[in-house]
Amino acid sequence: MHVPGWHEATAALQDAGEVQMLGIIQEQHPDRARLFMQWKEMGWPILVDSYNLLEVPYVPITVALDEAGVVTKLLGPLQDEGPLGSDFVAETFPAGEGAGASPPVVPDLESLAQTARAESSPESWRAFGDAVAVWGGPDRATDAIEAFEEVVRATPDDGLAHFRLGVAYRMRYDSEGRRDADFQKAVAHWGTALEIDPNQYIWRRRIQQYGPRLDKPYPFYDWVPTAREEIAARGDVPSPLVVEPRGSEFAEPVEAFATADRPVAEPDPLGRVLRDDGEFIAVETTAVPSAVPPGEVARVHFTFRPIVEQLAHWNNEADDMVVWVDPPEGWDVDSPMTVYSVPPEMVSQETRSVEVEIRAAPSAEGDVTIPAYALYYVCEDINGVCMYRRHDLDVEVSIER
């Protein structure tokens, strides 16, 4: 675990009330930062900047502010042992530009929305989008999506708007109000943002969070299980997470793409298993990134949700769920058959996620559809019939030109 050196160096000053610690997090899921802070017993106030409204180019950055809110020191990512101790407290600073400005007020979202619709300019949509992104929260992700869609339609080279649009889509995907392809749209807009500015660290990390292991610099949320264990060992209750990290968010980086060691028999080669065409289980398939160069790797996320309107639910009394991916000639998959271990309960209604990585053929071009299917036991309603079903899936991967 790495806590900046100045944190300890300034502990006494914090305790004496001579320095106020403050954090700003660049995080799609801010509740994870809450768990982290609890784990490290760092009780600072934290502000949430999921949409990167501060236009932070990378993290971590440490900023020393004087009593007037003026920046007196900036420490970048490789300098976190910097001089932020008693010298900073003792020093006096001249008042800088903007000192004494009034604290901001909460904007009138409805007024901003009316203005945006009346003017229909990228500036007014951007103003509404930024405001509703912050003050509307996940409940108004659809408004943020509308606003940022208007911005990127008018100004398609606005990388910030593409990034924020991606954040809003992913936010809605993580909510009960999710719509088809929300996650794929998030990934596509993050990809566009990164094309516009390949050096934007925050944007790159947001894609890498969900992307293939070859492209990962480190596991992103590998600390979560340890944090929970250590918090519980202290006798505290770990702060809950709205969205559990999974798959790519835990995956270790690799230096080379690897396929399964030995051939695996296809579970339903003749396609005889009765189909679920989406009556019982809704499936969303997302490739990250949306487009890859020939010979490169995408990570494919399959998400399976029982359709609650049908009272559909999993039956876990027999076999595990499996996902089979059948790549075209010249393509590779890291695991053609993935086994999802069902929970111990006889029936359940959880969302299931399976992730595989696919390497495009060196000669691949255009938009490619890769056939796949899932096999599972599903029940029609609480007292209904349980059947073994096959759900055919199409994995769409675009090849960069």
Residues numbered 220-259 forming contacts with another protein, rule: CB under 8 A: 220-223, 226
Q: Is 345 in the site for another protein (CB under 8 A)?
A: no
Cβ proximity to another protein: between 240 and 344 the closer is 240
Under rule CB under 8 A, which residues in 60-89 are in contact with another protein? 60-80, 84, 88-89
Residue 253, preceding peptide bond in cis (omega within 30° of 0): no
x-or-dash string of contact with another protein, 161-200, rule CB under 8 A: x----------------------------------xx-xx
x-or-dash string of contact with another protein, 116-155, rule CB under 8 A: ------xx----------xx-x----------------xx
Q: How far is the CB of 354 from another protein (least distance, A)?
A: 22
Under rule CB under 8 A, which residues in 266-295 are in contact with another protein? none
Which tokens go with 143? 């408004």
Q: How far is the CB of 293 from another protein (least distance, A)?
A: 20
Cβ proximity to another protein: between 157 and 319 the closer is 157
One residue of 15, 87, 101, 255 binding another protein per CB under 8 A? 101
Pairing of strands 332-333, 352-359: antiparallel
Q: How far is the CB of 365 from another protein (least distance, A)?
A: 29
The dihedral formed by the CA atoms of 94, 97, 102 and 103, expressed in degrees to the nearest 10: -90
3-state secondary structure of 78: coil
One residue of 99, 258, 264, 346 binding another protein per CB under 8 A? 99
How many Cα atoms sit within 13 Å of 232 on the Cβ side? 7
One residue of 11, 12, 54, 258 binding another protein per CB under 8 A? 54
Piece of the chain touching another protein by CB under 8 A; list 3-11, 298-306, 321-329, 350-358: 3-11
Q: Are 162 and 186 in contact (CB under 8 A)?
A: no
Cβ proximity to another protein: between 195 and 396 the closer is 195
The whole-angstrom separation of Cα 220 and Cα 238 is 19
Cβ proximity to another protein: between 40 and 305 the closer is 40
Cβ proximity to another protein: between 124 and 290 the closer is 124
Chain center to CA of 342 = 25
Piece of the chain touching another protein by CB under 8 A; list 47-55, 278-286, 323-331, 373-381: 47-55
The whole-angstrom separation of Cα 324 and Cα 214 is 22
Q: Which residue has the tokens 């559909």?
A: 312
How far are the Cα atoms of 64, 131, 162 from residue 124, in angstroms, in the given order? 33, 11, 16
Which tokens go with 88? 């900073």
Cβ proximity to another protein: between 117 and 205 the closer is 205
Residue 219, preceding peptide bond in cis (omega within 30° of 0): no
Piece of the chain touching another protein by CB under 8 A; list 42-50, 167-175, 293-301, 326-334: 42-50
Under rule CB under 8 A, which residues in 12-41 are in contact with another protein? 18-27, 30, 32-37
How far are the Cα atoms of 52, 56, 173 from residue 145, in angstroms, in the given order? 15, 21, 12
One residue of 15, 16, 87, 100 binding another protein per CB under 8 A? 100
Number of residues lying near another protein (CB under 8 A): 99
The whole-angstrom separation of Cα 320 and Cα 292 is 32
Which tokens go with 28? 């799609």
The whole-angstrom separation of Cα 358 and Cα 301 is 11
Dihedral pair phi/psi, residue 221, rounded to 5° = -125, 35
Angle, helices 182-196/201-208, rounded to nearest 10 degrees: 150
One residue of 16, 106, 274, 382 binding another protein per CB under 8 A? 106
Cβ proximity to another protein: between 221 and 324 the closer is 221
